[in-house]
Structure 1
Amino acid sequence: KQWGRNFMLGIQFFICWIFVSFTVALFLQSETTTKTLFHTLSQKEKEAILSIPLDYPFMKNEEKLDMVERFKQHAGVKDILLSDIAYTQGVSGNLLMTEKGNDNSWTDIDIMCVPLNFFTFMNIPVKEGRTILTKQDLVMDEVWQNKQKKNVIGMNFYDQNNDYTVCGVCAPFQTDIHNHSGGYAFILYDPSVYVGHCYVKCYPQQQKEVVKWIERIRQEMLPENIPCQVRTFQDDLYEMQAMEYILKDIILFFAMVSIIITLLGVYSSITLDTERRQKEVAVRKVNGAGIRHIIWLFARLYIALLVVTAIISFPLVYMVLQWWKQIYTVFFNCGCWFWTGIFLSVAMVTALTIWFRIMRVARINPVESIKNE
């Protein structure tokens, strides 16, 4: 019976290691991806930027611009950024020619149409040259320049309608954590042609008032079937990682359940052990055993269970993490401290669970214990 009980405890610890490891991994990875996406903005800045879709086919572009002008009237609005597409949903284009009129000279590069205030709004530093000022200006990011292994300022690019000259190089623009970026090219955006999205940056402590103001304007100008609730830029990023966050919550729930079941099993086991072996403890204390020896007498079983099950479960988790790592371009550091932290955390919770029962039996007067027997 005791062997079977210990075997079941081992299975519980094994399941606990699996769920706890995956829970910690999901939390660390979600934090890593959140910091990586649009990394030039801090967490607070992402939460302070309102994301407002304007890609409504039933609205004229003039009506959209009028709505944006009404947004600006609130004193809490610090800056507004217009775009043809939400930055979390794609790009404006992906092809440029290196030779004018030569259809064989098309090169793959993600193109973003951005207004004049884009680089300051998104906190993207221009490392070389200058920002966009005219329709002929083009700014490359460092990723594309590093691929060329040369200075690209002054290079000419073309599309079907315009000629562009590279006037500056900016810091990398990170919008994806599943595919490696081939680089970005930024050209001047004309909001008078089409507005598809609007980002509003608020002053500190005034975001709630701005949200109410914008929601009221949207409610006035949009049909009733269009939701007027305003989201933040951080909400857009959460939507991009929706599966990751849903999975994190599910695994967290099972991790909590497995920890509770395991600790209940450990507590019932140590309770039975201490009650059954009181006479043995009394005899050992009469023969000179100290509290340290009594603690080791009961704790060694659970130390063995922790170590053995961790040795079995951690390599399995590591294999899954290596497979999972291939999905991302950035991944959290699952090194020695990751495994050590998980082991020490579960071991500490287990130690606290059995400590009270062990100390209780270790302090029992051996004479009283033998009398009771």
Structure 2
Amino acid sequence: MGKVKAVCRKHVPYTLPLDVYKFGSRSVYSMMDTLEAVMWILAAVSLMLVILSMYSSISMDAVTRRKEVAIRKINGASYRDIAMLFAKSYITMFLLMYLLVYPLLKLAMANLLEGSSLKSVYGWEWGVILFAVMALLTAMAIGWQIIKLMRINPADTIKKE
């Protein structure tokens, strides 16, 4: 530590304090802990933006298809038929986007963390967890909109149109 402080003192004026710590020996967050916390916050904000944009898209789609759903209900469509009306397109989009983005994300993370002690990106577990969480959130958003659509009165909807 004395040699490190001597080298640092060559570039830092004597009027400024020189505090050199080992990682993990500080009582406050070290730089790595702070960076990790910031990355977790950014990941949470990004996930919330994805969830809200997905819910917004599904909501707008449900509003524009309200008349179509009313006509299908009059013709005797079941909950399953109406669910598949929405789910087919969103499941297809979700699978295609996941299959395109996941390999690119995995390659980017592997290149970024190459030579690092963090090897968790090379495992398959985080990809499966990410897939399951995003699929669950998509299913919940689609399900909520379908439940709201199934409660509408077809006669009132057609009258408004």
Q: Same fold (TM over 0.5)?
A: yes
1:335 & 1:255 partners in 2: Cα distance? 19
1:366 maps to 154
2:68 maps to 280
1:291 & 1:260 partners in 2: Cα distance? 29
Contact 2:70 2:157 in 1 (8 A): yes
- Equivalent residues in 2 for 1:1-373, closer than 5 Å: 235-236=24-25, 242-243=31-32, 245-328=33-116, 331-332=119-120, 334-373=122-161
Aligned in 2, Cα 1:337/1:237: closer, same or farther, shift over 3 Å? farther
Instruction: Tell me which protein shows more helix as a share of its residues.
Output: 2
1:238 & 1:275 partners in 2: Cα distance? 54
1:259 & 1:333 partners in 2: Cα distance? 18
1:309 & 1:238 partners in 2: Cα distance? 43
Gaps of 5+ in 1: 1-54, 57-224, 228-232
Mark the structure with the bigger radius of gyration: 1
Q: Deviations over 1:169-192 (max 9, x none)?
A: xxxxxxxxxxxxxxxxxxxxxxxx
Aligned in 2, Cα 1:236/1:301: closer, same or farther, shift over 3 Å? farther
Aligned in 2, Cα 1:302/1:254: closer, same or farther, shift over 3 Å? farther
Amino acid at match of 2:25: D
State the shift of 1:362 in Å: 2.0
1:328 & 1:367 partners in 2: Cα distance? 63
Aligned in 2, Cα 1:226/1:336: closer, same or farther, shift over 3 Å? closer
SS of corresponding position for 2:143: helix
Gaps of 5+ in 2: 3-16
State the shift of 1:256 in Å: 2.2
2:133 & 2:26 partners in 1: Cα distance? 30
Percent identical pairs in the alignment equals 31
1:355 & 1:310 partners in 2: Cα distance? 20
Amino acid at match of 2:156: E
2:111 & 2:139 partners in 1: Cα distance? 33
Amino acid at match of 1:312: L
Q: Deviations over 1:245-267 (max 9, x none)?
A: 34322322322222222222222
Aligned in 2, Cα 1:331/1:261: closer, same or farther, shift over 3 Å? closer
TM-score by length of 1: 0.33
Amino acid at match of 1:280: E
Aligned residue pairs total 145
RMSD, aligned CA:
3.3
Contact 1:271 1:357 in 2 (8 A): yes
Bigger relative contact order, structure 1 or 2 (CA pairs below 8 A, ≥6 apart): 2
